[in-house]
Structure 1
């Protein structure tokens, strides 16, 4: 059986290199056995190395100049005035500059963690949403990837998108244990965000590719416990009979910022506050409430849309499940659209507008 490999050298290297880029020759020399899996995460650039670090012949790591020869070959020569290391011949591919491809890494992590949802386009030095890890339908936590880089200004805060959002259990993946400062770790913890290093949780196996190092129930135990703890604290704001499913619920947008809910024959009015969909001192409706109104006008069927819209949809799922005390996914996916399992419309609002026109 082929053993799974950790890639500690690689994760540390991409964090230390400006632009996470290096010549192919240097990648292979520094990574050794890690080169094969690392190569699946790299992309060629349009640049070629003009010099290479001598790692084997010189104690002080001199620079070898890449010199083209008349016969078309390349040779790396010692850059010292008095050569102290031997020249080496190179293949043309060895001087190609290869850089980390954040999108390939995002795809590998998406698959290894079995995430749902579309990932944002990841960038160096900026935290990007990768998707959601689901414990069960409608219950889970968002996952972010953060790739710090030495070339970026310290004034750029790449964790803004994670740390400045409302506190909730979430996971931030970083390359190594030294990726975050103590202050950054504490800032994330204050927002209930957990950081994990790829050097600890991600393995490579030739036949299976990238995979996580332990069962999700063990690896994410702290995050799962956090979600369960919040569910115990947050009691449903809308009481429904035992055994209620989403198919038993009807929502009719009957007025501005107001739904009439019918649940197994029982009717009540629902406003944004009932669904925890208000913000600020004026309790203005959130984007999730606006999205729910859009579902109403579209009679429960909306195109999936961009990744930002998908995140709002997932937040809507969390708010609805919390408010009604349910744990199932309230939306199906059909033909590139989200389709609500509960009946939703804006018939009441349309009827009110019609009555107003008659009396005016």
Structure 2
């Protein structure tokens, strides 16, 4: 059986080929009744558009923009490297990635950069940022201009974002809770939680999942209020020093976000390495070495390469108004310990 063509759609819907082309490419000037007739014909015929061929025929290219915080986080740098590598592979399919950094302490600057993006120049945006009122408004304005946006690594569920690309942060937090409780089996005392910022959705969800498990399954472990460092190693060292000085019963430390280097430096300088169970997130060069050295007990990770490739695939699909393969884009939560470390890339 031959595949249906646009000629078959035009004949089935009783319209011209030009009208079918306008509907397929979402161009203006077609009545709603006619659009419905064309879409009904597509459904009856089981027509599946070959987007690669269509884009090649009209020489369409895709310029995507990815906005990441300008920090010294190794995970952010690992993600940036993965996006650059994925973009190099996608260049053959006319996809270009413009990777940009923004100052994480000023959401107004990020909002201004989002406002400067034009649908004539940009086919889609990937954004890793906290969900603040300023950013919510900026995303709504971006979407109103017809530019699709995906949330990257940390979700933005209360905005008009088109898709979230990353692991389930609530499930990742629950996983961290199970690991902390089992590594601390037989112990009782305090567990410290350290985060860059509790404005980040992934930090909020991880902490919520962690608390659920700890309260339900490990009541002898008391999780203290989150220490927020705002990405400052000095703030982490100062706050951690104060907590350890006033809480002699600390048995575990949960790193909700980044800060592994500052934490290890503080524990090393104070002769406290391997005194606590330490659970963290994301496999980076430092967390890899910390696992090898025994300074970190387990890492809950996601594959940055999958994250980057999925970003470009989803943005292409959104630009083409094409469906997304949810199975292909679902990222798995990976638990990494010293004994199952993957080869160093």
TM-score, structure 2 as length reference: 0.29
- Looking at CA atoms only, which structure, 1 or 2, has the larger radius of gyration? 1
Greater relative contact order, per chain length (Cα 8 Å cut-off, separation 6+): 2
TM-score, structure 1 as length reference: 0.28
- Structure with greater helix percent: 2
- Structure with greater strand percent: 1
